[in-house]
Structure 1
């Protein structure tokens, strides 16, 4: 058994690598695991000689600052959170006397100009009007399904015929498609992501006809997926981008359709709790953080309503 003094002299990158293997390997999704491996790579690149015992607040802040020079603030924040998990365990084990991550300042490059995150109701309607919805399932039908349900890209790819319950107008989301690797079904992002989404009658009628002859247990869009099980997000974004141009509206991504779905529900007066459940968020906090700008706009509208109501009391 190595003494604590010896353990504290090991390189921080080695401690982090062992921590990831011990606590994360086999417990998180492969996509998330890749992010931890990327974090390890950056530690080795930016501070290969930094020992665990040398992790003072100043040295830790310097590591964050060096990382922030090449990354946006949110990415730096994610980097910080992964490092912090390992460092707090080192503190608990007595390998560090203080928490060097305390009061860390998160910096980062200015965010790149991004595409619009969501469409308004009229823009969405224009987009749907320009989709080529033929009698067989195409990527245009995929776009419609995501717009109507707010599913994540990987969730929509994994939908099979038996996931539809047409009599109760629901769609059961209980798996994802591992589109970044060799294909195949994978678990959902979290337990809250397993859910039943209510769908409208028009969608029920459309998809009941489209999938009636499809085999069970197989994704309904499987004939569009490459032979190696992979689907490129950029391919779908390209199809959606062309449809947006035809409709003469702002271009958005497939994930932007999910934001559009949630935004329209919030503007329609649907509660944050209901939107969170429909999106499969692990907590309402996630929903509130993601759609803060919309919630603030709705609160301003609420204030106007309250003032008009009070002014009418005399």
Structure 2
């Protein structure tokens, strides 16, 4: 049982606690009312009853989140780390120096609702996933006992673009492929960059990080071993995850079209296939998207981005009957669940098609 003592104008609690038979009471003061002290003591007792660590340090939520990111996410891929830092900025902006102990589920839901104005539900969900991971550790560390992110609703005012609209159909991807092949006589390397994105499904950073030794003409494969920081031109960086280092088979026609650039890349400072003497050192994502937009407009196909080519590649493979484990490996996903989550709509289409096949197996 906890005991309470008024010291001047504030209240203090003392919770009896023993470690290896030795009494080590947990004492904390500074509460404006006895009721506040009782609630805080009860939270500590709940932690102890569950065998959890108890931490009486009063820390702002934004400070804990900042420390947590640096401890657990600083070693992740730069893009992932930057996304967590962006989530931290939203927390700092809204919660400021409010203690992590004082935030309720209602407070947190108001935060998400405000953040969701002008954004899609998926954007709100991503912010919540970052914060929820942090809060679970805050509970383990003994700062709080209740997960205020539990059962959070993702309310947003902007409708997200449907997954089905982010990629091209097989027929449209074939038309784009043929148009790109016809453009190979020009001096614009961006056409080849787009073509490689379409036939390999690699991320943009991986594409512009290709070097002359990424290509194995004897086995007709392309090796993904590193990425290039195309936003700042800072140089080579790590891949998104350990599964991203992979070898991808490429059709012979595209491999042969790469040869001139492969040969030329040996002469530039970094051996980059898509080298440019600019600040970023490579083709920019913005520039590639503009060229892709013009190509699709010529074909009268709805606009997608370079990342949409990755979705197109995966969706076409699945629709053509490729094994989802193989597709996941080819994309460099951390696990197959990521692939299942991203391409559930294609798998649903395949399921419907397979049902039709099953019905007709023995039909006359």
The alignment's TM-score, normalised by the length of structure 2, stands at 0.78
Structure 2 counterpart SS, 1:179: coil
Looking at secondary structure, tell me which structure has more strand per residue.
2
User: CA, structure 1 residues 127+295, in 2 after alignment: closer, same or farther (shift >3 Å)?
Assistant: same
Number of the residue aligned with 2:226: 175
Q: Is the CA contact 1:178–1:186 (under 8 Å) kept in the aligned structure 2?
A: yes
Measure the CA separation in 1 of the matches of 2:247 and 2:96.
48
**Which of residues 270, 293, 299 is equivalent to 1:241?**
293
**Which of residues 84, 96, 101 is equivalent to 1:48?**
96
**Which of residues 110, 116, 126 is equivalent to 2:158?**
110
- Check if 1:71 corresponds to 2:95: no
Give the structure with higher Rg (CA): 2
Structure 1 runs, 4 residues or longer, greater than 4 Å off: 2-6, 112-115
CA-atom RMSD in angstroms: 2.3
**Which of residues 190, 200, 203 is equivalent to 2:254?**
203
Number of the residue aligned with 1:21: 70
- Check if 1:141 corresponds to 2:218: no
Number of the residue aligned with 1:258: 310
The alignment's TM-score, normalised by the length of structure 1, stands at 0.89
Measure the CA separation in 1 of the matches of 2:131 and 2:151.
14
Number of the residue aligned with 1:190: 241
Q: Which moved more, 1:57-66 or 1:84-93?
A: 57-66
Measure the CA separation in 1 of the matches of 2:278 and 2:200.
24
Note the C-alpha offset of 1:311: 4.1
Structure 2 counterpart SS, 1:171: strand
Measure the CA separation in 2 of the matches of 1:24 and 1:274.
28
Measure the CA separation in 1 of the matches of 2:152 and 2:221.
46
Note the C-alpha offset of 1:248: 2.5
Structure 2 counterpart SS, 1:172: strand
Measure the CA separation in 1 of the matches of 2:62 and 2:282.
33
**Which of residues 336, 341, 358 is equivalent to 1:289?**
341
Q: Is the CA contact 2:190–2:283 (under 8 Å) kept in the aligned structure 1?
A: no
Measure the CA separation in 2 of the matches of 1:98 and 1:308.
54
Ranges in structure 2 where 5+ consecutive residues have no aligned partner:
1-26, 29-53
Note the C-alpha offset of 1:46: 1.6
Q: Is the CA contact 2:275–2:282 (under 8 Å) kept in the aligned structure 1?
A: no
Count of residue correspondences: 308
**Which of residues 206, 209, 221 is equivalent to 2:274?**
221
Measure the CA separation in 2 of the matches of 1:249 and 1:155.
26
Note the C-alpha offset of 1:306: 0.8
Higher relative contact order (Cα pairs below 8 Å, separated by 6+ residues): 1
Measure the CA separation in 1 of the matches of 2:188 and 2:336.
34
Q: Is the CA contact 1:173–1:196 (under 8 Å) kept in the aligned structure 2?
A: yes
